[in-house]
Every structure is written in C-alpha cells, then in structure tokens.
Amino acid sequence: MLQVLVNSLALGSAYALLALGFVLILNAVNAVNFAQGDLVMAGGFVAVAFGMLLPVPGIVLLPLVLVVMALIGRALAAVAYFPLKSRPPVSVFISTIAVGIILQNLANALFGAEPRAAPPLFAGGLVELGGIVVSRQALAIIAVAAVMIAAQYVLFQRTALGRRLRATAQDREMAEALGIRVNHVIAATFAIAAAYAGAAGLLLANTFFVTPTDGGNYILKAYIAVVIGGWGSVPGAVVGALLIALFEVMLPSLPLIVPGLAGLPGASWLFSQTIATILLYLMLLVVLVVRPQGLFGEAVQRRA
Amino acid sequence: MIATLQNGRHGPLALGALLLVAWPLVFSTPYDLRVFTLAGIYALLVLGYQFVFGHAGALALTQGAFFGLGAYVTGILGARYGQGFLVTFPLSIALPVLLAAVVAAPVLRLETHYFALATLGIAQVLLLVCLLAEPLTGGANGIPGVPGVEILGLSLPRGWPLLLFVWAWVIAGAFVAQRITGGLYGKAFQLMRASATAAQCVGIDIARLRLRTFLFSAAYAGAAGALFVHTLRVVSPEALEFHVMVAVLAMTVVGGRTRIAGAIVGAVLLVHLPEWFRFLESYYLIAYGVALLAMIVLAPDGLVGELERRWPQAPETLPTAEPLPPRSKLIPREPLLAVSDLRKRFGGVRAVDGVSLALKRGEIVGLIGPNGSGKTTLINVITGLLQAENGAVRFAGEPLGGLRPDTIARRGLARTFQNLDLVDELTAIDNVAVARAAFEGAGLRQALLAVGRDPTLERARRQARFLLERIGLGEEMGRPCGDLPHGTRRRVEIARALALQPSLLLLDEPAAGLSESEQADLARRVEILRDDGITMLIVEHNMPFLMPLADRLICLNVGRVIANGTPEEVQADPRVIEAYLGRRGEQA
Amino acid sequence: MTALLDIADLVVGHGPVTALHGVSLRVNSGEIVALVGANGAGKSTLLRALMGLVPVTSGEIMFDGTPLTGPAWSRARRGLGYCPEGRRVFPGLTVEENLNVAAAPGASLDTVYKLFPPLANRRDAPGWQLSGGEQQMLAVGRALMARPKLLLLDEPSLGLSPLLTDELLARLRAIASDGVAVLLAEQNAAAALEVADRAYVLHLGHTVDDGSAADPGLRQRVREGILSAKGLTSG
C-alpha cells in the first residue's frame, strides 16, 4: 500500500513540474503552450544524450538538462510566441503544436523510435525503509521535485525577478509602464517553464523510459492538472498533478491492495491503466462542465 | 466549387486547384493515385473542419475523432457484417453527427481553452474505448479486410475509379459548403466570429449557429473516415489518434480557414509534402513542422488568404436600393420601455442599483452620468446581454426578463456599441445586410435550395443599400469596413441597427470620435429617425451634441438615477453638477 | 526656462481610444498641472500616449530636453511615473511587493510610507484586499518608487469619497515640493483646480482653454462649460 503511494507520489511530483511550467506560461501570456509535453520528452532525450557522453548519475546531469532546456524554452518563445503576441491566443496554441511536431521528429531522427532510458538520479535498485521496500529512484524523484517546487516558490515569492514575473503575469501593460522589460520577463518565463518540463523528463525517463511520441500524453496530464487545480492557480496545478498520478497508479493497483477484488469477474479489465485513463478524462469533462473554476475554487483574481 | 467558378471571384484559385487536380494525370503510378485519393479524403475532412474552426472560430479537437468513428463504422459494418456502401456510408455520417449532438450541449458553451481541452478529452476517450472494445474493434490491431466501395453489387476498383469517386464527393462537399457559407447565412457566421455579442444583438441565435457548424464538421468527418477505410481496406486505431487531428489543423491553417479553395489546397499540399520532402529522409517531418510554423507566423490567413491579399477581388457592383418590407407594428402600449428597480452587481460593486425609468413612444432621451455610473451596464441589461439580479424590463408591455439578446433584438429593440462591433473584412453593405438574416429567412434550407446566388443575400443587400443611403453613405458602402473612416463606421453601425426595423434604438456614445461637422450630420439624421417614429435612448458625454437633441435627460451616478427631466432642469440640478464637477462644484 | 514636458500639436488616431486632435501643453519642473474636461474628452488617452501605451499619429513630445519615444518601460526609466485610471495595483502582490517591483535604484519604501502612513500598516496585505483608498495610495506610491521627474495621475478621485479625495490630492503638494512635477487628469474639476498651479481644459480631443488654476475666470468657464450646450470653448 505505502509502496503504491510512494510510486504515485513520484509520478505526481514529475507531473507537478510539468504542470507548473504549463501554468507559468499560461499566466504570463494567457496562452496554452501545447509543446509543454514535448518539452518533457525533449528533456528526457537531452538526459539520455548527456548520459551517453558522461557516465555520471542523473543528479549531476540535472543542471545540464536545466540549462539546455532553458535555452530551448527561450527559442520556443522566440519562434512560437513573440511573432504572434498580438494575435488571438489560439495562434499560439497552433504554433506550439508545430513546435511540438518539430521536437518530436527531431528526437525521432536523432534517437530513433525505440524507448530509451536516462540514468537514474542516484542509483537504481530498491531500498528498505521502515519495513517497506521502495525504489530508490522513486524516492529520489520525490526529493528532487520537492526541491524544485520549493525553489520555484522561493524564486517567485522572494526575489526581484519573481516579483517582476508575477507582476507581468497579473497586468502586463501596467508592469511595462512601471519600467519592467516585459519581453525579457516573458522570455524568462518560457525558459523556466521549459527547464521544469525538462527536469520532469529526466526524472521520468529512467523508470518509464522516453520515446519521441510521449509528448501528447504529457501535455494532456498537464492540461488536466491545471483544469482540476483551477485555471491559472500555481499551487492548484501541483495538487492537480498529484491527484492525477494518485488516481493513475492507485486504480490498477486496487486488486493488490483490497483483497478479493482480483477475484471479481472482469477485474483485470476494470483495474487497468486504460480504464484509469478513461475515467480520468471523463472526470475532466465533468469538472469542465460542472465546475469550470476547478475543484479548489478560482485562482486569485487577475485584475482588481 | 461550381458556384465559385461561376461568379469568377476566385478564378485564379479555382484554376490553381484544377492544376493540382491535373497533377496525377502526369505521374499516374498506382502509388500516386493512392496518394491523391488520400488528398481528396483529407480535403473533405478539412472542408468539414472549416465549419467549426474557420466559420465558428472554435478550436475543436474532435475532428480526428469523428473521422475515426466514421472509419470504424464502415470498417465494422463492412468487414464483419458484409454491408455495402449504401448502408455503411450513411451510418458513417450519422454516428459522428449523433455523437456531436450529444456532446454539444455541455461542451459548446465552454470558453476557448476549456472547449479545446474538452473536445480533446472526448477524442481521447473515444480512442481508448476503441482499444478496449477488442471484440468489436479488433483492439490495437484493428480490422483487416474491409471491402472496397460496393454499390448494388457493383464494386469500385482501386486506382482511377476510386480516385474519381472520392473527388466527386469532395466536389459535392465543396458545393454544399459553398452554398451554406456563401450566402446570407454565411455572413452570419462571419459576424458571429468577429463578435458574438454583435451577432446576438442583430437577432442571430448564435448557440444554434455554433451547434450547426459542429454537426456539419462531424458529418464531413464521418464521410471522410468512411472513404478512408475503403481506400486503405483496413481500419486501425491510427485513424483515431491525435496526429490525424494535427494534420487536419495544419491543413486548415496552411490552406486557409474559411475558403473552400483553401481546404483543397491545404489538403493536397500537406498530403504531398512528405513525398516532396522525401529527399530529406528522416528529417522530412521536421520540415513539415517548420513549414507549419512558418505559415502561422507569416501567412495567418493561409495560402489562399495570402493570394487574395496579393490579388484582391474586384469590388462588387452595388445592388439597387430596395425599401424594407413593412413590419407588423407593435401594439401601441405606453410606455414603450419601462424599467423598474433594476439591480446588477459585479462582485461587490453595484453597477446598477435600483434604476427605474420609462420611455414614451417617439421620445429621444439622453442618458448621462460620469464614468462608471452604470450607463453601459444598464443598456446591457435591457438588451439581455447581462441578467439583472432584481427588477423588471418591459418593452411594449411585454416583460423581457430571461429572454436571449437575439430574441429581444428581433422584437424591435436595437442597439449600437461604444466600440463599434463591425466586421472589418466585410463591406459596409454586407455588414448591414447580415442584420437582415433573421428576417429574410436566411437558413440552411434557403441556402441549399437556392439556384444561383443566394436570393436572400441579394435582397438583404438591396435593403442594406437603402438603409445606408438613408444614413448618408455613397459609393464607399462597397468598401470593406476596416478601410472606412471612423465617422462612416459609426453610421454603418447605426444602419445595421436600423435593419432590425426597431421601435426602440439604444445608441451608446454615437458622437464619440466624430468631428464637429459629422456630429451635426448625425444629429440631423437622428431627428429624421425620430420623425419616422423610432424612440431613442442615447448614452452620451458630449453635451453640445445631446442637449439640443434630447427631449429629456436622465442622469445616473453610482448606479442610481439622480435626475430626470428636461435638459435645462437636469443641467441646473445641483446633484448633477456635483456628480460631474465634484463636491465643491458650486463654489468652483 | 525650458519645460520639463512640452507637447506640441499631439494627434492620436482612431481606434478603441478617444482620439486627440491636436493637444499642446507644458509642464514645468515641480509644478502641478491639472487636466480637466468631461469624460470622453481624451484625458486618459493623452496620459496613455505619453506613456507609450497608445501609438501617436503626429505631433511632438519633448521630455527633459529630448524627444519622448520608445516603449513604455524605457519612458518609465526616463522619469515618468504612471498611476493609471482604476489604479491597477497588482492584486497578487503584497503592498510592499507592489512598491518594490517598481523601485528604481535609490528609492526607499520609507518615503512612501511617510507620505501614506496607512500603507505601512498593511505592507503584507495582498493588493486585492485593499480598500479603494488604500489601492489609490498604493498606486501613487508605486509610481513614486520609480523616482519620477513627472508623475502622471489619471482620475485618482474615481470611486473615492470626497474626504479621501481631498486627503489624497493634498498629498500631491508634498510630492511636488520634493521636486516631482504632476500632471493630474481629473473629472472632478473642482478638486483638481484646488490643488493645481495651472490647468488645461480638454474638450473632444482639443486643448481649448488654459490658465492659472486660481484664476476665477477659468474656474467659471470650466463650471459652465462642462454641462452647457455650447461646450467648452476658450474665452
């Protein structure tokens, strides 16, 4: 039971980094970055590539992945956001889909379609902790993600750059009229968002491997997390991501936890990954229709 | 497409499309024929997608799913139950339409991003269900051995016959799309896309219009899916996967979102692009992504939009003016408009706080008040754009509470907007003509059954000319509204409101941005309208314009009526002076 | 003496904003200049044009001896402090963060807190929790944190009680005595004329009248003009 919990927490932490990046861009420019999932995939492959060059644990690669992904994020802003910033938000939606196609096929051309694994953060294997056996990687993912989420919090709440990022997200024109170079701030937002997605890619690419087509799955997770958590809410996105992962891991594991369930007719069909995903989407639709402000209420009003 | 060729407006485009059609004649290996058949299938799919994405402006991500559903219906019925084309094809269209109708009610009212996500969620559920329902769908392997097109025992061979069959459907689909979007009904789409609010306020039921675009999209997608399976002879979950949706989106963006030629150009181009980029080997899909990105940035209206910009169509000849048919008069009950104890709040702010007022038939009443006093909110509540928390609005004795804005507009209560909600791409004539849509019976049946150009559009344009002449426009009424000066645009908007043959006209800051001579002209025309029996409520800051015109002034301050009387009385009212000049206005 | 701000024949085109058809005005260092006129006269448009938030069609703006051009952030850094209509404090930032985000090198929170003591007590409250009066103080204080040479103030009285309006406008005297010039756009003409040194009257996008704020003739014309059928015309 606890083991399942640790696993879902690990998956959820990685989703949280992804969703965090998604919501940062959403707040900064009021546009959906559909390439966010492909950035996770790209981060995974960047980690794979560095892993081939340097035989070191993943934690050492993390800073390298963050830097490369930040640059990719900056480039994403340059090609898919800035040329379109005075057009309707749907243009950015489509342009980021295009960037997603490029990233996906670039990965395919460079690495091939087979699943690849990035090096583990510290070491693989299992560790016994208070009587239960959990994977080292899962614990490491939780730790790294927690540190990064905390870092994001500190950056946004306690630094001058963070103030400018938030001010720009809340009222772009006013921020600019107060001397903030809004374009620089937006570029920084894209860089941070991409770096966080890349980190998620590194974290996931050991346990779950990485293939060029992974992006579509991840963007949906980010999207759902942000809707569940409340459109535009940063803490909501983190909580939403954790809930998604909990559900995804828990449902297929239910027969292992609750005795007797496995014996029911159709159990293997019902308690499957696919059913979990279908239920997730159906829940999403229900949330969208019944409670579009998200499960936890609306994000703080953008404008006074 | 036939109509397109006939009226010659898209001559070069149609020619280009024909050249593309001629392409396989030159290189007709079986492979080329197959690729070109697929291009036709995608063209049909894109034609459908243009309804919801192009004409309604909604980013629906279900088009791939409807396509896949149509494909599976034909695959399952054809391969497992041995049904022929005459059974499978209609059902392949019907099921996606049914699905669209079922999901439309909750989903269509969602805002942009939510709508995109909800439709994406529906598409994903469909894919997963298809993978799960293995006994029926064959799961991940799909169903092989789907028969080709079989009609009454005759089977259509692959190659040229299938290609022509598919392209015949494309032409039929293009024809229907042209009929629907090329007439008065299509102009309503354009106004809805430019401003849903303005569309409602000229009496267009936008919820119904949106639903129809969604159903059309599903129908075309289902047909395309069926033809796809007949071409491939297998159906697999690939037909439901997201990349189909991405391809459709890309084709629509590249070709053009609303142009029929754009659908064909986009589909033919992007289906062939991988063939042309083959020399790039494994990098060709990257080039595909780059091309898509470049199109979005450099040619937002697509290739066809770009061509139209380069070679703008010749201005249409102006129609002859035709007066509007008389409208059944409202039962003359006084007052024409009665507002009682109306309240509307936004969060903690009481924008309208217990307003009561009445308008007599034939009056011109000025509504004044400082910034934020609730004037526009009041108008928005009266016209049904906002729902009040309390109070009632009666128009000619009938309560308006709970009615939709388009219903209110059709009853003869018209308005203009502070910020001029016109469609920039449409001519002044068409901007006014579209407001006749609700009265000239513009609809699907009229659009489809008409011979030649849509007669409802022709008549509406003649009436539009009549209205525009009355408000003082000349030859410039044939130019796109985006090119017209501000003062002229104001008058176009008033003419559009007049197209509803209103008993009551609400003008929201009509003199804003007009020069002194334009103001004088506008004042004269407002008086003519009054003499024609139209009652008017004018929100205005410009006292020199309003004072001589108004029979009565009503002054609002922080959501309440603080004065109501003749212009002289209101002007001298100390409370009005205080509202405008501050507390010490008296001493200043 | 050259003016701090010198606007000559400014024209701002059509669009979603009220147009300006030729506005000329000057503001000298340390001076409070009121810009009065009914709404729709173009006061907000003028301030927004000065900030670079709406494009200018023609005319010249000289600020501190050189033409005023470029994006809004560069104008802010050249010494324009902007306090917009509706205040627009950042709702998710605390009072202190709102002030700090606009801070130029050498700016001090204490100066602002001394000017507006109520803000000091609420320094950790998020912007959205503030009352209208507090928000307005914060918006003015935030603009001052950029250490401007010229403070552009758009309708500060909007939504404030007369008492609060008086208090706020009285603070402008203190601000001006520190050498910051103020251009005050205000619908509440009486209050604005009370605090200003000079005034311009804007009507339908033209400057139609100007003079010393204390001039009884000007006050009389403003009072009669705003509500009269003849409109505001000079003389």
CA–CA min distance A47, chain C (Å): 36
Which DSSP state fits B415? E
> Would you list the DSSP string of chain C?
---SEEEEEEEE-SSSS--EEEEEEEE-TT-EEEEE--TTSSHHHHHHHHHTSS---EEEEEETTEE--S-HHHHHHHTEEEE-TT----TTSBHHHHHHHTPPTT--HHHHHHH-HHHHHTTTSBGGGS-HHHHHHHHHHHHHHT--SEEEEE-TTTT--HHHHHHHHHHHHHHHHTT-EEEEEES-HHHHHHH-SEEEEEETTEEEEEEETT-HHHHHHHHHHHHSSS-----
Q: Does the residue B197 lie in any domain?
A: yes
Sequence-distant (6+) residues with CB within 8 A of A240 are A19, A224, A225, A226, A227, A228, A229, A294, A295
Whether residues C227 and B513 touch (CB distance < 8 A) is answered with no
What sign does the dihedral B232-B237-B239-B242 (CA atoms) show? negative
Instruction: Give the nearest chain A residue to B349 (CA atoms).
Output: A304
At residue C18 the predicted structure's pLDDT band, cuts being 50, 70 and 90, is low
CA–CA min distance C45, chain A (Å): 14
- Looking at residue A293, what is its pLDDT? 66
Whether residues B544 and C231 touch (CB distance < 8 A) is answered with yes
- What CA–CA distance (Å, rounded) separates A271 from B47? 41
- What CA–CA distance (Å, rounded) separates A224 from A240? 8
CA–CA min distance C149, chain B (Å): 28
On chain C, the residues whose CB falls within 8 A of the CB of A156 are none
- Looking at residue A298, what is its pLDDT? 47
Q: Which of residues 82-101 of C touch A (CB under 8 A)?
A: 82, 84, 86-93, 97, 100-101
On chain A, the residues whose CB falls within 8 A of the CB of C128 are 300-301, 304
On chain B, the residues whose CB falls within 8 A of the CB of A83 are 297
Burial of B504 (0-12, 13-18, 19+ CB in 10 A): buried
Choose the closest CB to C73 out of A166, A176, A301. Answer: A176
Please give the span between the terminal C-alpha atoms of chain C, in angstroms, as a whole number. Answer: 27
Flag whether residue A83 sits within 8 Å of chain B, measured between CB atoms.
yes
Choose the closest CB to B419 out of C16, C19, C231. Answer: C16
Choose the closest CB to B293 out of A99, A223, A274. Answer: A99
Q: Which residues of B135-165 are buried (b: 16+ CB within 10 A; e: fewer)?
A: eebbeeebbeebbbbbeeeeebebeeebbeb
Q: Are residues B367 and B478 in the same domain?
A: yes
- Looking at residue A159, what is its pLDDT? 92
- Looking at residue B222, what is its pLDDT? 97
Whether residues A166 and C93 touch (CB distance < 8 A) is answered with yes
Flag whether residue A303 sits within 8 Å of chain C, measured between CB atoms.
yes
Contact C32, C182 (CB under 8 A): yes
Contact B113, A32 (CB under 8 A): yes
Please give the span between the terminal C-alpha atoms of chain A, in angstroms, as a whole number. Answer: 46
Helix (H, G, I), strand (E, B) or coil at A127: strand
Look at residues A141, A199, A208, A278 and name the one whose alpha carbon lies nearest to residue A20.
A199
Whether residues B286 and A275 touch (CB distance < 8 A) is answered with no
Q: Does the residue B253 lie in any domain?
A: no
Whether ipTM > 0.95 holds is no
Last residue of a domain, one of B196, B224, B241: B241
At residue C228 the predicted structure's pLDDT band, cuts being 50, 70 and 90, is low
Q: Does the residue B278 lie in any domain?
A: no
Flag whether residue C150 sits within 8 Å of chain B, measured between CB atoms.
no
Whether residues B580 and C193 touch (CB distance < 8 A) is answered with no
Best residue in A24, A174, A234 for a mutation probing chain C (most C CBs within 10 Å): A174
Whether residues C162 and B544 touch (CB distance < 8 A) is answered with no
Q: Does the residue B13 lie in any domain?
A: no
Q: Does the residue B346 lie in any domain?
A: yes
Q: Does the residue B139 lie in any domain?
A: yes
Which residues in chain B come in under a pLDDT of 50? 1-8, 585-588
- Looking at residue B160, what is its pLDDT? 86
Residue by residue, pLDDT tens for chain A (304 residues) are 778 888 889 999 999 999 999 999 988 888 889 999 999 999 999 999 999 998 888 899 999 999 999 999 999 999 999 999 888 877 888 899 899 989 999 999 899 888 998 888 887 777 777 777 888 888 899 999 999 999 999 998 889 999 999 999 899 999 999 999 999 999 999 999 999 999 999 999 988 889 998 888 898 889 889 888 888 888 889 999 999 998 888 888 777 777 777 777 777 777 787 888 888 888 888 888 787 666 665 443 332 2
On chain B, the residues whose CB falls within 8 A of the CB of A93 are 59, 113, 116
- Looking at residue C153, what is its pLDDT? 95
- Residue indicated by tokens 């509504």: B367
Tens-place pLDDT, residues B131-142: 988 888 988 889
- Looking at residue C19, what is its pLDDT? 78
Q: Considering the entire predicted model, what is its pTM?
A: 0.84
Tens-place pLDDT, residues A245-300: 988 888 887 777 777 777 777 777 777 878 888 888 888 888 887 876 666 654 43
- What CA–CA distance (Å, rounded) separates A163 from C28? 34
Burial of C182 (0-12, 13-18, 19+ CB in 10 A): buried
Choose the closest CB to C72 out of A167, A171, A176. Answer: A176
Q: Does the residue B170 lie in any domain?
A: yes
Flag whether residue C18 sits within 8 Å of chain B, measured between CB atoms.
yes
Flag whether residue A274 sits within 8 Å of chain C, measured between CB atoms.
no
Domain extent for B117: 32-241
Q: Are residues B236 and B347 in the same domain?
A: no
Question: What mean pLDDT is predicted for residues C150-177?
Answer: 86
- What type of residue sits at position B245? M
Last residue of a domain, one of B184, B209, B241: B241
CA–CA min distance C191, chain B (Å): 7
On chain B, the residues whose CB falls within 8 A of the CB of A106 are 286
Neighbouring C-beta atoms of residue B72, cutoff 10 Å: 28
- What CA–CA distance (Å, rounded) separates A3 from C220? 82
Q: How far is CA A44 from the centre of its chain?
A: 12
Q: What is the CATH number of the domain that holds B511?
A: 3.40.50.300
Q: Does the residue B161 lie in any domain?
A: yes
Q: Which of residues 172-201 of C touch B (CB under 8 A)?
A: 187-194
Choose the closest CB to A170 out of C84, C90, C102. Answer: C90
Best residue in A178, A183, A300 for a mutation probing chain C (most C CBs within 10 Å): A178
Q: Are residues B232 and B354 in the same domain?
A: no
Helix (H, G, I), strand (E, B) or coil at B159: coil
What total of structural domains would you count in chain B? Answer: 2
Q: Are residues B231 and B342 in the same domain?
A: no
Last residue of a domain, one of B241, B257, B276: B241
Whether residues C191 and B584 touch (CB distance < 8 A) is answered with yes
On chain B, the residues whose CB falls within 8 A of the CB of C202 are none
For Cα atoms B562, B564, B568, give the angle at the middle one, nearest 5 degrees: 110
On chain B, the residues whose CB falls within 8 A of the CB of A89 are 112-113
> Would you list the DSSP string of B297-366?
HH-TTHHHHHHHHHSPPPPPPPPPP-PPPP-PPPP--S-SEEEEEEEEEETTEEEEEEEEEEE-TT-EEE
For Cα atoms B306, B309, B313, give the angle at the middle one, nearest 5 degrees: 125
- Looking at residue B472, what is its pLDDT? 87
Flag whether residue C45 sits within 8 Å of chain B, measured between CB atoms.
no
Give residue A216's region: left, alpha or beta (phi > 0; psi -120 to 50).
alpha
Q: Are residues B342 and B230 in the same domain?
A: no
Q: Are residues B346 and B223 in the same domain?
A: no
What whole-number percentage of chain C has pLDDT above 90?
A: 53
- Looking at residue B32, what is its pLDDT? 83
Contact B557, B384 (CB under 8 A): no
On chain B, the residues whose CB falls within 8 A of the CB of C229 are 543-544, 547-548, 567
